[in-house]
Amino acid sequence: MQSVSELLTAQCREALVAAFGPSFQETDPLLMPTNQPKFGDYQANVALSLAKPLKQAPRAIAAQIVDHLAVDHLSEAPTIAGPGFINFKLTPEFLAQQLQQLQQHPRLGIDSVSDPQKIIVDFSSPNIAKEMHVGHLRSTIIGDSIARVLEFLGHEVLRLNHVGDWGTQFGMLITYLREACPEALIQADAVDLGDLVTFYKRAKERFDRDEAFREAAREEVVKLQAGERDTLRAWTILCDQSRREFDKIYQRLDIKLQERGESFYNPLLPNLVELLRQQQLLVEDQGAQCVFLEGFQNKAGNSQPLIVQKSDGGYNYATTDLAALQYRIQDDGADRIIYVTDAGQANHFAQVFQVARRAKLIPDTVEVVHVPFGLVQGEDGKKLKTRSGETIRLRDLLDEAVERARADFLERLRTDDRQESEAFINQVAQVMGLGAVKYADLSQNRTSNYIFSYDKMLALQGNTAPYMIYAYVRVQGISRKGNIDLSNLRSQLSIVLTDETELILAKHLLQLQDTLKTVAQDLMPNRLCQYLFELSQKFNQFYDRCPVLSAEDSVKASRLLLCDLTARTIKLGLSLLGISVVERL
RNA sequence: GGGGCUGUAGCUCAGCAGGAUAGAGCGACCGCCUCCUAAGCGGUAGGUCGCGCGUUCGAAUCGCGCCAGUCCCGCCA
């Protein structure tokens, strides 16, 4: 379906052309929702911006546009207000007709895109032999939501988990384990992941202070890269073990993604360096193979290098990312590649993208984009560091969230003197707890930093997942109470919108498509959260003022329709955030 | 030294392809359950949109400069 704003925009375009000629075909009418009800529902600001080129007064321009507007099938007569705004107020009849269409549309009015793209979303990406912590939560949840939205819109999405399963860290860890815990290297599950993390920290300490250890670790890396049998087996065991732990988390969070770690690209690295050499981008400096960057300077004011091959012959993660980029474009056939990582890597990606462009690895038709998010900070405003040991483990965080939701729900049951089955209580706790965690993260503009707080993350009131789930449950309550099968509402029922809250709700229901398109373009799930929160607010106001079941038949029918559309929209919207609902509370 | 991000109400943040009187949640205070579940609804209080200059008919939004916080910057990822 065409959205209301698309319909109005199209009409404005036609009016512009009719009034001022074909050269205005591409002029954006600058249509947007009004910020105040007294100005109607939408406003077109184009008249003001045309004042200078047309050398006419904005209000006079607006008048000419209005003269050529044919919008009486959807709006009351447009008015010119203030310095030259054109205001539109949608008619109740039009809204009713649009709602009817929505009701019959299997995807709530959202058509699949006509030009599906192959899109890679690279997210989550924990490191092998480390535990997932709150820092991984943001990438995982934001990436998953972006993938869900793009999938729903009809794109072919490849969700890639670019796990850290290669490199110096393994040299350290394996070297350390050889002496501290050799059984971990030959036998699966000889130690658990928590112990591995401890070993990793100790290995890192040794690496930082012990020259001989450092040398041994490097040799181990060389063996790994050469595919030496012992080392490779140790590596495989470590990876398998970590993978099982990750999968538990992903299963719990209902996140699907395909693992393709750094090691996957390892065989491609020599060719990539060779390619850079052929492109004459490579410069040897102090034994390392470098590409000197444009626009990046070091302290001395000289051009900064991106090292693609170390002086010892090893490769860096920049090399891997370049190889991955090449593979994803040439072999996966990606049209758009999205990297969801913390903002601290902005420089890195800018550099990698620059070198890739200069090496002609990125055709003009392919979009590569870093989707950064702010750091997870402690209460002190400092970055939560893995090495500090104060990091909160992801699985503990999720446990805590579910436990709090459960305690809260039990308290409510006690207050209302209700009895419920254990299974039901568990389900509510699960949905509410995990929903709260995900929503807390997604509802923030991802670029801002995130000060970690259990209390804020797990709040169950206000702009939270439970608020929206509650609105959804209210609709299901009406359905149960009235014995009404909402999925079976008569499609030709008449709709009468009279109360202000009904009109406001109806208008908001019709904006889902605009919202999803924005999210797909800007990759900002918080816009969808904002939309759903406002929808729930508007529904609750409607619910407060407009009885449904006790209303007379014609009114009741259209109110049921509003309820059903609201519930379906909330359920769909939350699902695109990776959040599920319950049918009752 | 260079660069990224951030700075909006007591707190946490939306808004930033320029648009009419800057919004929400939490917290505070005052109301609303004989009526579809109050995880709800209504109301009050609370802001020199970090500071300055500029572009513009119009700037929280764009540009430049400054201040503050945070992160990154050659062989870790």
Q: What is the ipTM of this complex?
A: 0.95
Q: What pLDDT is recorded for position A272? A: 95
Give per-residue burial for A117-130: e unless 16+ CB within 10 Å, then b: bbbbbbbbbbbbbb
For the CA atoms of A288, A291, A293, A298, the dihedral, rounded to the nearest 10 degrees, stands at 10
Pairing of strands A156-161, A118-122: parallel
Nearest nt by C1' to A166 Cα? B77
Nearest nt by C1' to A321 Cα? B77
Q: How far apart are CA A3 and CA A517, in angstroms?
A: 11
Identify residue A149 by its one-letter amino acid code.
Answer: V
Nearest nt by C1' to A345 Cα? B72
Secondary structure class of A41 (helix, strand, coil): coil
The owner of tokens 């436990």 is A403
Distance A463 CA to B46 C1' (A): 20
Q: What pLDDT is recorded for position A445? A: 87
Q: How far apart are CA A16 and CA A394, in angstroms?
A: 55
Q: HEC string of A173-223?
A: HHHHHHHHCHHHHCCCCCCCHHHHHHHHHHHHHHHHHCHHHHHHHHHHHHH
Q: What pLDDT is recorded for position A269? A: 94
Identify residue A254 by its one-letter amino acid code.
Answer: D
Distance A522 CA to B72 C1' (A): 24
Q: What pLDDT is recorded for position A490? A: 67
Q: Which residue is nearest to nucleotide B35 (CA to C1')?
A: A547
Q: How far apart are CA A314 and CA A583, in angstroms?
A: 55
Q: What pLDDT is recorded for position A109? A: 94
Distance A544 CA to B33 C1' (A): 12
Q: How far apart are CA A367 and CA A120, in angstroms?
A: 10
> What residues contact residue A58 under an 8 Å CB cut-off, 6+ apart?
A47, A48, A50, A51, A83, A84
Would you say how long chain A is, in residues? 585
* Long-range contact set of residues A304-312: C-beta below 8 Å, sequence gap at least 24: A306/A351, A306/A352, A306/A355, A308/A272, A308/A273, A308/A276, A308/A282, A308/A355, A309/A273, A311/A286, A311/A287, A312/A218
Burial (0-12, 13-18, 19+ Cβ within 10 Å), A76: middle
Burial (0-12, 13-18, 19+ Cβ within 10 Å), A314: middle
Distance A458 CA to B64 C1' (A): 43
Nearest nt by C1' to A545 Cα? B41
Q: Which residue is nearest to nucleotide B24 (CA to C1')?
A: A463
Nearest nt by C1' to A381 Cα? B70
Q: What pLDDT is recorded for position A223? A: 86
Name the maximum alpha-carbon separation found in chain A. 85
Q: Which residue is nearest to nucleotide B33 (CA to C1')?
A: A544
Hey, what are A406's tokens? 């459960």
A383-427: pLDDT as tens digits: 655 434 457 888 888 999 999 999 999 999 998 899 999 999 999
3-state helix, strand, coil in chain A (%, to 5): 55, 10, 30
Hey, what are A292's tokens? 């000197």
Q: What pLDDT is recorded for position A390? A: 56
A194-218: pLDDT as tens digits: 788 888 888 888 888 888 888 888 8
Distance A304 CA to B72 C1' (A): 13
Distance A51 CA to B74 C1' (A): 54
Distance A54 CA to B18 C1' (A): 20
- Residue A246's nearest CA partner among A144, A158, A393, A132 is A132
A258-291: pLDDT as tens digits: 999 999 999 999 999 999 999 999 999 988 999 9
Low pLDDT (below 70) residues in chain A: 378-390, 490-492
CB of A40 closer than 8 Å to CB of A32: no
Q: What pLDDT is recorded for position A357? A: 93
Q: What pLDDT is recorded for position A283? A: 92
Nearest nt by C1' to A412 Cα? B39
CB of A419 closer than 8 Å to CB of A425: no
Q: How far apart are CA A526 and CA A444, in angstroms?
A: 6
Nearest nt by C1' to A46 Cα? B19
Distance A584 CA to B76 C1' (A): 50
Listed as ranges, the nucleotides of chain B within 7 A of a protein C-beta are: 1-7, 12-17, 19-21, 23-27, 35-42, 57-58, 69-77
Q: What pLDDT is recorded for position A389? A: 47
Mean pLDDT of chain A: 91
Q: How far apart are CA A577 and CA A560, in angstroms?
A: 26
> What residues contact residue A419 under an 8 Å CB cut-off, 6+ apart?
A413
Nearest nt by C1' to A409 Cα? B39
Q: Which residue is nearest to nucleotide B75 (CA to C1')?
A: A310
Q: What pLDDT is recorded for position A382? A: 66
Nearest nt by C1' to A48 Cα? B57
Distance A468 CA to B69 C1' (A): 34
Distance A526 CA to B33 C1' (A): 33
CB of A91 closer than 8 Å to CB of A76: yes
For the CA atoms of A362, A363, A366, A368, the dihedral, rounded to the nearest 10 degrees, stands at 20
Q: Which residue is nearest to nucleotide B1 (CA to C1')?
A: A299
Distance A290 CA to B13 C1' (A): 42
Distance A389 CA to B23 C1' (A): 39
